[in-house]
Amino acid sequence: MNTNVTIPADTQTSLERVMCYLKGEKPQRIACFPLILNHAARVLGVPVGVYNRDGKAMGNSHVAAWKRYGHDIILIFSTTSTLAEAMGTKMKFFDEDAPQIDEPFIKQHSDIAKVKVPDFSKDGRLPVYMEATEICVKEVGSQVVVSTVFGGPLTTAAALYPVELLTRDMIKNPEWVHELLEICTQAGIKFIDEVLKRGALPFIVEPIGSGSLVSPRHFHEFVAPYLKRLSDHIHKNGGGFPAGLHICGKTAPNWKSMLEAEFDIWSLDAVDLGEAKKAVGHRVALVGNVVPANLLKNTAEEIDAEARGICEKMGDMAGFILASGCEVPINTPPENVDALINAARKYGRFDQ
């Protein structure tokens, strides 16, 4: 570790820190959201395959991870396809990895008639997510924000119908795509209700809306309007909760269209966060963006330097939350997660 700077002690709980952002006040230091998802299983010491299918294991993993690291948000999550899975897509499970799509539910366009909003008490692994959410809220919800993460409408659609066909249909068969997105949006609204009911924050990931896959024009047509319905629903029913959105990969070409979705928090991945601040920093709180592969491969000193560079780019750091750009890789060395959070303690101070 960099021994030139001592690590100041925290004077606020994670929850108090994050509440400062919501009230527009300056916290003692910036918050830190390492996107600890499947990695939580490593902290409790259960196989990732168990974490993914057992609500108690998933919830206890996140409680253990939070107690170990003290990060500022718990993110209940296994894959971006969980809603689609509950709607009929078959997944393949692994002992030491997150599940992957095995067989999309929709084989031909007419199958759309069979796609329904799922039942959260029994479909797919939604009960696993809900149980994990309840455990975290009960155990540590008074000290840290508990958030449950689900795929946005386009991401869910792309898990129900192969992404290569879906993206072609955006041009060749747009009405059908809109019909599918409508069902996926209704499923998302239900997800929001179920998570809010349990006292947690719904958080939306829309990786298929990445700028590598979807143009600004298509984002405007197929992504933003549906995401906006989700953010509206959170704003209306969330009791003051903000609407948070994560999009992986490159997003810069889509920032203008992304604003249309009216989210309060953007978690960004492979972008220049300084540029993002200039472009949209007055409208959204930015979360990011240490390179996930670096967390896996680099040393703690390198992570410290990378995080420091990002903090410097963020200038006054108003509204900024230091984070990993995307999921903390499952086998990330714990000292690298520590290095990331310590960087927020060292370089993200408002009390000096």
Partner 1 sequence: MTRERGDILKDLMDGVFLMNEELVIKAANEIVAAGYDAYDAINNGLIAGMNQAGVLFDKEEYFVPELLICSDAMYAGIEILRPHLKVSDAREKHKVVIGVVEGDTHDIGKNLVKIMMDAAGFEVHDLGRNVPLASFVEKAKEVGAKLICLSTLMTTTMDGMSTVIEMLKEEGIRDAYKVIIGGGPISQAFASKIGADGYADNAAGAIRLANNLLVKAAA
Q: Which is nearer to partner 1, 325 or 348 (CB)?
A: 325
Burial of residue 236 (CB within 10 Å: 0-12, 13-18, 19+) is exposed
Q: Which is nearer to partner 1, 15 or 330 (CB)?
A: 330
Contact residue for partner 1 among 19, 279, 280, 296 (CB under 8 A)? 296
293 touches partner 1 by CB under 8 A: yes
Output 96-99 pairs: Cβ under 8 A, ≥24 positions apart.
96/47, 96/48, 96/49, 96/330, 97/38, 97/48, 97/49, 97/330, 98/37, 98/38, 98/48, 98/52, 98/330, 99/52
259 touches partner 1 by CB under 8 A: no
Contact residue for partner 1 among 44, 101, 307, 344 (CB under 8 A)? 101
Q: Which is nearer to partner 1, 78 or 231 (CB)?
A: 78
100 touches partner 1 by CB under 8 A: yes
Contact 279, 255 (CB under 8 A): yes
- CA R_g for the chain: 19
What stretches of 97-246 show up as alpha helix (H) in DSSP?
126-140, 153-160, 163-172, 174-197, 216-218, 224-237
In the complex, minimum distance from the CB of residue 170 to partner 1, in angstroms, rounded to a whole number:
5
- Scan residues 270-289 and list those touching partner 1 (CB under 8 A): 270
Number of residues that bind partner 1 (CB under 8 A): 30
Number of H helices, E strands in the chain: 16, 10
- Scan residues 316-345 and list those touching partner 1 (CB under 8 A): 326-327, 329-331
- Scan residues 159-218 and list those touching partner 1 (CB under 8 A): 163-164, 167-168, 170-172, 211-215, 218
Closest CA to 335 of 295, 287, 305: 295
In the complex, minimum distance from the CB of residue 342 to partner 1, in angstroms, rounded to a whole number:
22
95 touches partner 1 by CB under 8 A: no
Q: Which is nearer to partner 1, 19 or 163 (CB)?
A: 163
